[in-house]
Amino acid sequence: MRFFDAIAQQFAGKPIDWDELEHALIRADLGVPLTTRILKTLQDREAWSLLGIRDVIKIARQEISKILPPETKPIVPIAVKPMVILIVGVNGTGKTTSTAKLAHYLQVGAITPNRPSKILLAAADTFRAAAIEQLGIWAKRLGVEMISGQYGADPAALCYDAYESAAKNEIDFLLCDTAGRLHT
């Protein structure tokens, strides 16, 4: 279920509980600063006590769009294959799902309109439980190859092996899904 649909369903037909809304926004990984900004914008409205859930969703969309870049830069393939894209980020931010979405985007010819790109996935998150299986499910759904190893294996060695395989098989894009990292 999409985020805003879930929010609408959660608050449908009842007055908005600000604490409950705050928790829902934070649970959706919007982060504390953006959640605070959305709540402040809502509460600064003249008749904030009369706001409905559609108003909340409208304001949330507006605040989210303010922090997104006005335009995105396209991925430009390099002459030497494979182009390696290392997916990195904080734990629990959706790297594996984003890897699959990027693979699909590249695969359907978004970069090379004349032909679909050849994709190889590397399951380099060898630490999170079920990470390899999750990426494997996406690889199967997309019909792309995946290189994986054992849990606890050296992720750098796995990415190196994936690169060697991608180069040998003339793969256009190698997407390496890595383990999350915290600031500590």
Specify the CATH number for the domain of residue 126: 3.40.50.300
Number of domains in the chain: 2
Given a contact cutoff of 8 angstroms between Cβ atoms, the answer to whether 119 and 99 are in contact is no
Given a contact cutoff of 8 angstroms between Cβ atoms, the answer to whether 85 and 176 are in contact is yes
- Give the dihedral of Cα atoms 16, 19, 25, 30; nearest 10 deg: 140
Strand order in the sheet with 145-147: 83-87, 173-178, 119-124, 145-147
Residue by residue, pLDDT tens for the chain (184 residues) are 477 777 788 877 777 788 888 888 887 777 888 889 988 888 887 665 666 778 888 888 899 889 888 887 777 777 888 999 999 988 777 889 999 999 998 988 777 777 788 999 999 998 888 889 999 999 999 999 999 999 989 999 999 999 999 999 999 999 999 988 766 6
Q: Which domain holds residue 133?
A: 83-178
Give the C-alpha separation, 63 to 60, whole Å. 5
- Do 91 and 173 belong together in one domain? yes
- Do 89 and 130 belong together in one domain? yes
Given a contact cutoff of 8 angstroms between Cβ atoms, the answer to whether 121 and 139 are in contact is yes
Residue 97 in any domain: the answer is yes
User: Which alpha helices (H) appear in 45-154, and where do they start and end?
Assistant: 53-67, 95-107, 131-142
Q: Is the pTM of this model over 0.75?
A: no
